[in-house]
Amino acid sequence: MSADWPLWEVFIRARGGLSHRHVGSVHAPDSAIALKHARDVYTRRMEGVSIWVARSSEIAASDPAEAGPTFAPAETKVYRHPTFYSIPPHVKNM
Amino acid sequence: MDDPIFTYALRIGDDALVLGQRVSEWCGTAPTLEVDLSLANVALDLIGQATLFLGLAGEIEGAGRDADRLAFFRDVDAFQNALMVEQPNGDFARTIARQFLFSTYQEGFYGALSHSAEPRLAAIAAKAVKEVRYHAALAGDWIVRLGDGTDESRQRMIEALDWHWRFVDELFAMDAGERALLEKSIAVDRAALRPAFDAAVGAILAAGDLPAPRYPQRPVMGGRRGHHSEHLGHLLATLQHIPRSYPDARW
């Protein structure tokens, strides 16, 4: 039965102020049921305050075979890291 | 003569206990892993409510019986649950139909009970109403989808609602004991909950394009007086046989 249903990726916000994080997936016939399934599968132990679900088939992913051309060029660009700035002492979290 | 508040807490607890035990029968056999977890969560919520209401009943009775004692060491005719909750699960449609009808009733009942003049009843109800509101919404979603799904799912949902409808009136019936508690603002006026129940059921049936339930028999009642269907005895045998076989066991 669940094989007839589309797959949904589940994202949970653990606390206010944090981003939603991918936690897994559920099968469900539509988004409303997917949210309820996600609640029952992934928030049984108070793991979250907000849930997103997205059809897995709607997510576009980078091609692992193209990992070299996609990510390698960034390796040598150390100047893109803001490590050359000194942080004023009264700035606590940066 | 039992304390009427003991009887009242007992029957609320029995409703939750028996339905929780029934729904837990799906554990490991539900149509999908996701539905299995959903139904197990519902069952655990209900068992938790039963523990609180039966614990309170034992406290009021003051005879040394705790929630476990009341759950495991009473015979079938001492149970005062409504007949709907002891009915066999049937297929998924019948389980969902019962869950929707009962949780919708329970949502109104606990909502009203949270204003009871007996503060311990009110406190448990205020906690439990959030749980059953979710159960009603979950089951309602499934009723709409099965009603509006395939020809077979629609037919099964129509039959499931027809099958359970004979047990609905008992949920809203009051006996003399409850009426006396109502005069003290302790018990809920069940009859006053019926219009909101009918409206909530009507809205879900309309959304699922389902007809109003029909049943050939007159309403079936008697659970509050301990007059049960044959099914409750079998359920209690499963529920009670370990503690009765090993009454001193601790775990």
**pLDDT given for residue B43 in this prediction:** 98
The tokens describing B20, both together, are 């929780």
The CATH superfamily label for domain A7-62 reads Phenylacetic acid degradation B (3.10.20.520)
**pLDDT given for residue B250 in this prediction:** 81
Please report whether residue B103 resides in a domain: yes
Q: Give the total residue count for chain B.
A: 251
pLDDT band (50, 70, 90) for residue A91: confident
For residue A7, the chain B residue with the least C-alpha distance is: B34
CA distance B134 to chain A (A): 9
With CB atoms and an 8 Å threshold, state whether B145 touches A30: yes
Please report whether residue B59 resides in a domain: yes
Half-sphere exposure of B215 (CA within 13 A, CB side): 16
Residue B107 has pLDDT above 60, yes or no: yes
Count of pairs with CB atoms under 8 A, one residue in A, one in B: 34
Please report whether residue B86 resides in a domain: yes
**pLDDT given for residue A70 in this prediction:** 87
pLDDT in tens, A12-68: 999 988 999 999 999 999 999 999 999 999 998 889 999 999 999 999 999 999 888
Sign of the CA dihedral running B236, B17, B99, B31: negative
Residue A36 is nearest to which of B31, B32, B38, comparing CB atoms? B38
CA distance A38 to chain B (A): 8
Q: Map residue B247 onto helix, strand or coil.
A: coil
pLDDT band (50, 70, 90) for residue A79: confident
For the domain that residue B9 is a member of, what is the CATH number? 1.20.1260.10
With CB atoms and an 8 Å threshold, state whether B34 touches A40: yes
Residue B1 has pLDDT above 60, yes or no: no
Q: Tell whether B141 is within 8 A of chain A (Cβ).
A: yes
What kind and span of H or E run contains B67?
helix B67-72
**pLDDT given for residue A94 in this prediction:** 64
Mean pLDDT score, B170-188: 97
Please report whether residue B152 resides in a domain: yes
Give percent helix, percent strand, percent coil of chain B, each to the nearest 5.
70, 0, 30
pLDDT in tens, B142-159: 999 999 999 999 999 999
Which phi and psi angles does B194 have, rounded to 5°? Answer: -65, -45
Say if residues B211 and B111 touch (Cβ distance below 8 Å).
no
Span between the terminal Cα atoms of chain A, in Å:
49
For the whole model, what pTM was predicted?
0.90
**pLDDT given for residue A78 in this prediction:** 81
Q: What is the 3-state secondary structure (H, E, C) of chain A?
A: CHHHCCEEEEEEECCCCCCEEEEEEEECCCHHHHHHHHHHHHCCCCCCCEEEEEEHHHCCCCCHHHHHHHHHHHCCCHHHCCCCCCCCCCCCCC
Q: How many domains does chain B have?
A: 1
Mean pLDDT score of chain B, rounded to an integer?
A: 96
Mention every residue, 6+ apart, whose C-beta is less than 8 A from residue A84: none
Q: Which domain holds residue B120?
A: 4-211+224-245
